[in-house]
Amino acid sequence: MAKTVNVLIIDPDEARAEQVAEGVRADNGDQQTVIRQERHFELRMLRDFDPDMVIIACESPDRDMLEALQVANEQVPRPVVMFVDRSDDNATAKALEAGVAGYIVDGFNPKRISSILTVAAQRFAVTQGLRKDLDKAKADLAARKTIDRAKGVLMASRNLSEDDAYKALRKHAMDTGRPIQAVAADILAVSDLLKPGDSQ
Amino acid sequence: MTELKIAYSPLNDAALILVAEALGFYDSEGLNVTLIREANWSNIRDKLAYGLIDAAHILAPMPFAAALGLGPSMGRIIAPMALGANGNSILVSAKLKARLEDGGRLDTSLLGSARLLAREVERRRKEGLGRLVFAVPFTWSPHHFVLRHWVASAGLDPERQIQWIVVPPSRMADMIKDGVIDGFCSGSPWPQAAQLNGHGEILFSDPDYWTLKPEKVLGVRAAWAEANPEATIALTRALLRAGQWASAPAHREDLIRILARTASVNAPWKAIELALDGSGLTFDPQTATFPWISHAKWFMGQMVRWGLLTPDHDFDQLARHVYRPDLWRDAAAPLGLDCPVADEKTEGGQAAGWEIPAAPHNIIMPANQLFDGGVFRCV
């Protein structure tokens, strides 16, 4: 019977940790993998869970806690960077770039190290990509609202149709070489000043 | 324009790196800089090792520890300047503070408070209580050496009579509140933020320990510096200019504003302000940024003193390999700064301002004195 492998994942982002856990499970094939996910690292986790490998998000400040344990103890997970040959292993650098670092106990199957790290890095990269998409979607939505409100101002003040209001906005954007939502934001800023009753 | 990536930790003493960006000094020195905020020192070390960043705000002992084989490699690093002096404070829980008091009064000199600490350690031993727990942000940090020196000054054995743990500054206040740790040393503004929230009291700050204590340096990947010698000088000059700006009293409000930004230190304005007043943090390029070889040797001496390193190494060679006063002079001279003639100085023993030989004019240095009167001479 294959030995179980205990993997501890430390990530303040729980959804991302779940992604990494799924990836590690899928990657580990026949071996039984026990995964524990935590938002913060605590010293007692080493005693209670006895991890063979720790995967930690670089955005967690707790990485320095984990790092310091090796100074006083022999039997604790040590940084992966100390086990791999830097010249022929890109997995560690790629993982760092994606925002994740690994720690393993002595005797952990070296072939598995880069495989698990690579999986973790891929999952991090995917989450990062999704976050960017989400941010972009939010920004796009905000821009559309601004443009819609600016169109409304033009329709009311210059008595234009919706289509003509949009054309006027677009023409001004092209003439001044600025994004259309910036022109729309300017119109809204000025229209606030022109609101009746505001000036005394 | 030379492209480079610089990493920093969210602390007040990252100020020069942040100010140079905010005021366009990198730009005017021909550098296109991308700043990266890192949540821990291990990331910075590894990213330098793998060339993912070119330079960083680092704890002064880090490159020496790595070069001496203590922990993972950092790659070859040079330090053309220090990023200021002082800035750390030591905070203890309200419970420990009360124990250190005598009839409601506390002897605040470090020798005095250490003696009271020894009394408390002895009381705990007699009553069968566990050791006091002190936290530092990194093993290879000035914080760790300052606390050990203070504890030892009352005859305590810091290795066996105190328990040390590494905790990120952002979690230290909570651990004090929960009673997990009894005290910590951290860079500002975290001790001030903790005190404002009622999670303990500041016992002393860097200048109480050493009036002009070295702390962070600019670490540059040696491979990058060798490939970009002009840009390395330009980078140093941009940061020295930031030092000139940041140490002018008139710029204080703007400095706090830059530090308080979410992307910078992201701490309450009040804590940042308290820390600038109380931690002795100085950015004066003339007196607090020269990479003294004697500082480098002092740090390595501390590693030996506290049993973290064997003494059989060529410390002079390693100090000069990392610290580069020659580059500081190349960057500073065109700015009209005076350049120290020597690379080393005697550390400690100067209770008042003193003069050191420099060109074109001698420099009047502030007091340079350690709390126990110790004097460190480079032989």
Residues of chain B neighbouring A61 (CB-CB closer than 8 A): 39-40, 168-171
pLDDT at A115: 84
Give the list of residues 6+ apart from residue B330 with CB closer than 8 angstroms, or none: B233, B236
Q: Answer yes or no: is pLDDT of B248 > 90.
A: yes
Q: What pLDDT does residue A87 have?
A: 47
Q: Which DSSP symbol is given to B68?
A: T
Digit-coded pLDDT (tens) for B117-162: 999 999 999 999 999 999 999 999 999 999 999 999 999 999 999 9
Residue B272 has pLDDT above 50, yes or no: yes
Which positions in chain A touch B308 (Cβ < 8 Å)? 71
Contact B247, B49 (CB under 8 A): no
Q: How many residues does chain A have?
A: 200
Does residue B317 register a pLDDT over 90?
yes
pLDDT, position A195: 60
Q: Are A102 and A116 in contact (CB under 8 A)?
A: yes
Q: What DSSP string describes B233-286?
A: HHHHHHHHHHHHHHTSGGGHHHHHHHHHSTTTT---HHHHHHHHHHS--B--HH
Question: What 3-state DSSP class applies to B42?
Answer: helix
What is the side-by-side strand order in the sheet with A78-79? A33-38, A5-10, A53-57, A100-104, A78-79
A64 touching chain B per CB within 8 A: yes
Regarding predicted confidence, which is higher, B302 or B267? Answer: B302
Nearest CA among B87, B91, B115, B86 for reference residue B203: B91
Residues of B in contact with A59 (CB under 8 A): 39
Interface touch A61/B169, C-beta < 8 Å: yes
Residues in chain B: 379
Lowest mean pLDDT among A39-48, B38-47, B99-108: B99-108
Residue range B343-372, pLDDT digits in tens: 999 999 999 999 999 999 999 999 999 999
Instruction: For chain A, positions 161-180, list CB contacts with chain B under 8 A.
Output: none
A89 at the B interface (CB within 8 A)?
Answer: no
- Annotate B322-371 with DSSP letters as a single string: HB-HHHHHHHHGGGT--EESSS---BS-B-S-EEE-EESS-EEEPPB-BT
Alpha-carbon distances of B118 from B113, B125, B131, B287, rounded to whole Å: 9, 11, 12, 35
Chain A contact for B139 (CB, 8 A cutoff): yes
Q: How confident is chain A (200 residues) per 10-residue block, as mean pLDDT?
A: 82 93 82 91 92 94 93 80 63 90 83 84 86 85 90 90 91 87 87 57
DSSP B283-317: --HHHH----HHHHHHHHHHHHHTTSS-S-S-HHH
Q: Looking at chain A, which residue has its C-alpha nearest residue B75?
A: A86
* Binary contact (A71, B71; C-beta < 8 A): yes
Q: What is the mean pLDDT of residues B306-327?
A: 96
**What integer pLDDT is reported at residue A194 of this predicted model?**
63
Mutation for A interface: B44, B50, B136, B143, most A CBs within 10 A: B50
Which of B39, B52, B171 is nearest residue A96 as measured by Cβ atoms?
A: B52
Chain B residue with minimal CA distance to A98? B52
| One-character DSSP codes across chain A | -PPPEEEEEE-S-HHHHHHHHHHHHHHTTTS-EEEEEESS--THHHHHH--SEEEEETT-TTHHHHHHHHHH-SSS-EEGGGTS-TTT--HHHHHHHHTEEEEE-TT--HHHHHHHHHHHHHHHHHHHHHHHHHHHHHHHHHHHHHHHHHHHHHHHHH---HHHHHHHHHHHHHHHT--HHHHHHHHHHHHHHH-TTS--
At A198 the pLDDT is 44
* Separation of alpha carbons A23 and A21, rounded Å: 5
Q: Which phi and psi (to 5°) does residue A6 adopt?
A: -100, 120
* Gap between the Cα atoms of B278 and B155, Å rounded: 28
**Does A101 lie at the interface with B, CB-CB under 8 angstroms?**
yes
A82 chain-B contacts, CB cut-off 8 A? 71-72
Of B46, B70, B167, the CB nearest to A96: B46
Say what percent of chain B tops pLDDT 90: 90
Minimal Cβ distance to B168: which of A65, A86, A96: A65
pTM of the model: 0.87
pLDDT score at A84:
63
- Between A131 and B259, name the one with better pLDDT: B259
Helix axes B252-260, B269-278, angle to 10 degrees: 130
Q: Mutation test of the interface with chain A: which of B9, B166, B185, choosing the one with the most A Cβ atoms within 10 A?
A: B166
